[in-house]
Amino acid sequence: MEVSVEIDTLYDIEGRAVAYIYKGEYIYLYDGTPVAFLHDMHVYGFHGRYLGWIYNGWVFDRRGLRAFFKREATGGPARPARRARPARGARHARPARAAREARPARPARSMAWSTTSDESFFRS
């Protein structure tokens, strides 16, 4: 029996599939590298650093700028055409989660794109 697993693709400013959310909790790059996890719709790196949050299908960075969008994202700036998703590599083992950094005060949501609308978002 095949088990269905929810996968949400995260697209960047150019419409490129950069990462995906696996089981509604973990974020992987398409090469299989685990880069972040979700806690109450907030994004944290495995090192514990607060990276941003998800709202209406958009991933916002710490400054309130839009870094990624999901297919069903609503509102916001014009989204580019979505490119084909690459094949997903085998998922690597997830590192242990460090203690989560306290969330800073949430800035206003901007209509502008983040300068880190790519893999570097997860290294910040």
Q: Break the chain into its structural domains and give their ranges.
A: 7-74+82-123
Q: Which residues contact 99 (CB under 8 A, 6 or more apart)?
A: 48
pLDDT of residue 83: 96
pLDDT of residue 18: 97
**Which residue reads 């209406």 in tokens?**
56
Residue 4 DSSP label: P
**Which residue reads 């995260």 in tokens?**
10
pLDDT of residue 5: 61
pLDDT of residue 1: 44
- Note if the pTM is more than 0.75: yes
- Burial of residue 2 (CB within 10 Å: 0-12, 13-18, 19+) is exposed
- 41-53, pLDDT tens digit by residue? 999 999 999 999 9
- Ranges of residues in the chain whose predicted pLDDT is under 70: 1-5
Secondary structure (DSSP) of 54-122: EETTEEEETTS-EEEE-TT--SSSPPPPPPPPPPPPPPPPPPPPPPPPPPPPPPPPPSSBPTT-SGGGG
Interatomic CA distance for residues 14 and 48, integer angstroms = 28
Interatomic CA distance for residues 66 and 50, integer angstroms = 15
